[in-house]
Structure 1
């Protein structure tokens, strides 16, 4: 029984990371990248920078897909048809610089 509980805990801890979809935004239009985020709630985009370095991050539909100490903030990513496609990315609440409210951004 103890082995089953440990196995279940490991599976449940690993399942969120297995479920998130990964895309290359450079092969998508801005509209399709935003639609993927909206339909799935959260995705990982990975692309190569102009200097040849890999860039990747998690992008979300709204703050509900962020950790409790984070909020969704606008960030631009490159796509096939738009070099600055606006999407949402989780940022630390500490980055609010004294604002009295947390922005309620949604895609």
Structure 2
């Protein structure tokens, strides 16, 4: 009976829903507000309008650090347009090749 309860508890824990990722309109926020949201939540989706085609929405996932990236990815610097800064500094995950990350290691 105890074993069955342990298995049921483990299955329930694994089936728990993941936290939803927040989405923000970067162009409606200040750069400080965008950076604060990323730091507070760990990972967010930021969206903005394309500068070349304003009817085209662009978006990507941004993180507060590498621990929010998948295996085989690293956090790299990027920028998004905000209300007060056209190139607000944020981090996003990108896959890497070992040769590019550790060029002198053999």
Q: TM-score range by the shorter chain?
A: 0.7 to 0.9
- Paired residue for 2:57? 54
Consecutive unaligned residues in structure 2, runs of 5 or more: 1-7
What is the TM-score normalised by the length of structure 1? 0.75
Mapping 1:1-107, distance limit 5 Å:
12=16, 15-16=17-18, 19-50=20-51, 51=53, 52-94=55-97, 98-100=100-102
> Does the C-alpha gap of structure 1 residues 83 and 63 become closer, same or farther in structure 2, counting only changes over 3 Å?
same
- Between the aligned partners of 1:24 and 1:98, the Cα distance in structure 2 is 33
**2:71 alignment partner, SS class:** coil
- Between the aligned partners of 2:93 and 2:31, the Cα distance in structure 1 is 19
**1:86 alignment partner, SS class:** strand
Consecutive unaligned residues in structure 1, runs of 5 or more: 102-107
> Does the C-alpha gap of structure 1 residues 20 and 100 become closer, same or farther in structure 2, counting only changes over 3 Å?
same
Shift of 1:53: 1.1
Higher helix fraction (1 or 2): 1
Shift of 1:100: 1.1
Shift >3 Å, 4+ stretches: none
